[in-house]
Structure formats: structure tokens, C-alpha cells
Amino acid sequence: MSEEAGSGGTARPDLARVLRLVDVVGIVVGSVIGSGIFIVPATIALEVGSPVLILAVWVVGGALTFFGALCFAELGAMYPEAGGTYLYLREAYGPLVGFLFGWTLFLVIDSGAMATLASAFATKYLPHFVTLSPLGTRLVTLLFIAFLVAVNVLGVRHGANLQNLLTAIKFLAIVAVVALIFLFARGDVANFTTPAVEPFTPGLVSRFGAALIACLWAYKGWEAATYNTGELENPQRNLFLGLLVGCVLVVVLYMATNLAYLYVLPAGAIAGSERIAADALTRAIGPRAGTFISVLILLSILGAANSNILTAPRVYYAMAMDRLFFRRVAAVHPRTRTPHVSILAMGAWTAVLAMSGTFEQLFAYVVFGQWIFFALTVGAVLVLRRRRPDLPRPVRVWGFPATPIVFIAAAVFISVSSLISGPANALAGLAIIALGIPVYLFWRARSGQAGQ
């Protein structure tokens, strides 16, 4: 990579393009597969009841995920730089919209997600093996965050290697769960079709929609791979193929896992299970299943959290490069070639959220806003096709314009559903996003003064 001149004539190192196709796949699969496949199946079964509809929800969710990934791949090939969604929103709608996304990502979305994962690691799953005092739980939470920050500060290659290792282990572990269930459990193929689908009614459509919202939460995370585009070798090719391969692997794994659950448990039992993976695996290997699943979830949590710190700091780095964040956050370490200040800033804020105990409520607030940003980002494909037809597009969305329109409709549906079901949370989320407007004006004024 070349180096660009910084202030005072000194050379400023740039991010290193060292990530490969396998790393994009690792980020996509590792980001998506967290705790969702262990929690969401019960919610979906409770909503729709019929196993045919359960599987249909996962198929539709996978198709929508694939549509979104295609749109992000076109945008990423157009703008092969660090920042991903922030860049696409900036180019399509202006710097304010891009900033509001980055502001919300830093303040709540990814820092809140990482705090949630760190807390769950220490309070819900590690106690299966070790009894922790309240102080010990806090220390484990902080050590969890500090470990991942340190690995990623030392180099994007280190962070990606850890991500690939954790992703491979949990992917193979889930495959092993599916194989063990089908090989050793005494199941019933009648569970795949019983009970039958109830007659079509508006109520059934509503419940299918509610189940789809939960399903898409389990599929979320693939978009984070675009944040590291500035560190990809051959970004136009590797981002597209990485998103494609990663999403396909997740969909296949999710479908296989749900079929395994249904093979040993009827839909009604799945709906009433709080530990569906452990309950299903117990039918195959007995009481040892609880320990196996606890280890698997711990690894899944670690991988999902590592994905947060591996990807999101590149957004804050891009904002700082645009002088819309602390200038120091744009620093790149001369030896490790990582945005180390950005990584440390996110780690510090995540630790504050984790220690304050406010992260779960804050995270609930921004679900509404997250899907608005999703809709706007996919909408950027439509906007830029019209506004900038001259730009090179090494990757083009398949099925345009239907593909982005269908995804946008789904994202709007989720946002409206979130508003109706939890208006207080949705309005609080909008307030958090809106708080970024005066902050944006401050940074714009500051950057204008700096340029004088």
C-alpha cells in the first residue's frame, strides 16, 4: 500500500490490504452465527406453529439476506474503501445521513452488541463451568473486551485469523450437532409436516411477519464485512464472493439445524423450549449435550464479539478521515497498520456500557433505527444508479430493480412493526439518532475552522 502525506510533510501509513476471500467469509459467517440459532427457533415455532411455515420463514429470511448482500456488494465494488455503510450513505444522501449511521453504530449498535455479548459470556454461559462472584463476573467481562481489543490492535491479520479459527470451530461444531442428531437420535420424519398449515388468514400473515422479524435478527451481521473493504485484496472480487459464499453457508447451516431440531422434537415442543439446541442434542448423546452446547455458545459469542471489534472501528476511522470525528481516530499504527485509536475507543466505550448495565435497553432502542439504515443503504443502489450512472460498477445487483425493492419493503415492514409493537423504544431510538445532528454540526464547524 502507498502512504499519503500527512501534516507537516510526514508520511502517514494507510491501512494494509491483507484480507482475503476466506477472511470475508469468516467475518460473514462468524458475525451472523451468534446466539440466534439457539434462541430464535423457539420464537418462530411459537408464532407460526406448522413446521412447513417454520422452514418457510427461514427460507424467506435467507432470500432477503441474500438480496441485501447483493446490493451491498455492488456498493462495495463502487467504493472499495474502509467504512462500508457509512460511505454508501454519504455518497447517496450526503454526509449527515452517513454520520448519523456512524454515530449510532459507535454509541449503541456495535458497542452495545459487543457489551451484550461480553456480559452474556460472563453471566449466562461461563458459570456452567466456573462459579463467579459479582466482582469476578465484572472482571471476566472486562478481560473479554480487553483480549479482543488487544488482538485486533496488534494487526488486522491477527484479528482475522482469530475470526477464521472461531468461525471454523463453531461451524464444524454445529455441523456435528446436526450429524449427531440425525445419526443417533430416535426422531420422527412426521414432525416435518405435522401439524399442517392452518387456513390462510390475516392473523396468520401477521404471525408470519413477526416470525420473519425474529428470523432476520438471526441472519443479521453479514453487512459488517463491508466495513473492512479498505483492507481487502482485490476488493471488487473478494467482497462479492465473500458475501455470496458466506450467506449461502449460513442459510444452508440454518436450514439443516432447523431440520435436525424438527426431526427429534415436534413444533410444539420447539416452541416451548428455552434451550432448543441442548434439548435436541440430548436426544442423541444424553446429558453431555448441555456441556457441548455451552462450549459451542461460548465460542459463538467470542466469534461474534471479535467480528464487532474487527469491523466497526473502520467506520469511525472513515468518519475521522472526513473530519467528522476526533482526528486522532483516523490514526493508523505505523507498525501494525491498524486504526488502533479507533479500536481502543470502541473498546473503552463498550467497557463503559458493559459496566453500566444499560446496553440491553439501549440496544432495544435502536432496532427500529437499524432497519431504517438498512433500507436507506439498499436504496442507495437505486439512488446512485440514477444520480451517478457514470461510475464503474464491477458488480451489479442481480434482478435489479426488484431485488433492492423487495429488501427495502422488508426493512420498512420491520421498522413499522417495531414502531407499532414498541413505540416507546422506537421513539427513544429515533431520539438517540437525532442527538447526532448537533454533534454533526459541531464537527462540521470544527473541520471548517481547521481548514482555514
Q: What is the mean pLDDT of the chain?
A: 90
Residues forming a β-bridge with 232: 19
Encoded amino acid at 296, one letter: L
> In angstroms, rounded to a whole number, what is the distance separating the alpha carbons of residues 256 and 175?
8
Residues forming a β-bridge with 11: 5
Where along the chain do its domains lie? Answer: 15-450
Q: Give, in degrees to the nearest 5, the angle at Cα 123 between 299 and 274.
A: 75
Would you say domain 15-450 falls under CATH 2.60.40.1120?
A: no
User: CB atoms < 10 A from the CB of 5, how many?
Assistant: 9
CB-based contact 164:22 (threshold 8 Å): yes
Q: What percent of the chain has pLDDT over 70?
A: 95
**CA neighbor of 436 nearest in space, from 95, 114, 87:** 95
**CA neighbor of 156 nearest in space, from 211, 228, 249:** 228
Residue 388: which pLDDT band, with cuts at 50, 70 and 90?
very high
Q: Give, in degrees to the nearest 5, the angle at Cα 172 between 230 and 137.
A: 75
For 176-204, the pLDDT digits (tens) are 999 999 999 999 999 999 988 888 888 88
Q: What percent of the chain has pLDDT over 90?
A: 68
Residues forming a β-bridge with 4: 12
Greater confidence (405 vs 370) lies with: 405
Q: Give, in degrees to the nearest 5, the angle at Cα 222 between 220 and 224.
A: 110
Torsion-angle region of residue 313: left (phi > 0), alpha (psi -120 to 50) or beta?
alpha
So what's the pLDDT on residue 5?
A: 39
pLDDT above 60: residue 9: no
Torsion-angle region of residue 94: left (phi > 0), alpha (psi -120 to 50) or beta?
left
pTM of this structure = 0.91
For 95-113, the pLDDT digits (tens) are 999 999 999 999 988 998 8
Residue 12: which pLDDT band, with cuts at 50, 70 and 90?
low
